[in-house]
Amino acid sequence: DEHAESFSFSAAFISLLDNYETSTGVAEVVTPEEIVENNCFLDAVLATEVMKLAHEYLLKKNLAKPNLADFKYQLYDIWFQLYARKEGDRPDSCGFEHVFVGETRRGKQILGLHNWVQFYLQEKRNQIDYKGYVARKNKTRPDKDDQVLSIQFSWKGLVKPIGSTFIGVSPEFEFALYTVIFLLAEERVTHERVKIEEYELQMVVCRHGHHIGTAYPVLLSTSSE
């Protein structure tokens, strides 16, 4: 049943959002339970249509392992392998934490947090305070049809002056999109111009060695409001 699959994927995704120590400089401790949750999420994401398409595309480009177990290992390395966000620090970060969960640096700065589901859940728990948006040209304010927003918010007592995020898309769409761009490019910072429906976007993906450092969309046609 499609709805049951969708629910189990959402549950697998949401279960990861509380697995991280958000402060950089503090070593992450990955428990056996969290490793199981990471693997359950990857199994669920690999079963989605969008990730199957991404895998097929990457196979044509000779950038992915054909065997699903090998491809899953490749994804684990890209997204979940811990690294030090600053040289010399202990392993305190990973791509998934930065992009989908969010981090803080020295109690002064918000890093990442580019996922609308995490934003929604944190706002529901009164952890996030939404401060405003940057509107697109010919549009005075966002509406229910907007799927990419540049927003300002506070989280854990800190303000993020501007952060871009997709709104209403599935986590597997973002996961697949960022994975494809990461594997297609070799430079440290990739700026890939794409058109998704009516949106002119620049997809920004930064690598941290063999891992994702950050990934987010930037609206190219915006006007401040």
Is residue 210 part of the annotated active site? The answer reads: no
Beta-carbon contacts of 72 under 8 Å, excluding residues fewer than 6 positions away, are 39, 42, 43, 46
Contact 176, 78 (CB under 8 A): no
Is residue 160 part of the annotated active site? The answer reads: yes
Annotated active-site residue in 60, 72, 114, 137: 114
Contact 113, 163 (CB under 8 A): yes
Q: Beta strand pairing status for 199-208 and 148-155?
A: unpaired
Task: Measure the CA–CA gap between 200 and 217, rounded to whole angstroms.
Answer: 10
Is residue 208 part of the annotated active site? The answer reads: no
Annotated active-site residue in 156, 160, 208, 211: 160
Sign of CA dihedral 177, 183, 185, 188: positive
Beta-carbon contacts of 156 under 8 Å, excluding residues fewer than 6 positions away, are 22, 104, 110, 127
Task: Measure the CA–CA gap between 54 and 134, rounded to whole angstroms.
Answer: 31
Annotated active-site residue in 98, 108, 156, 208: 98
* Residue numbers annotated as active site: 98, 114, 160
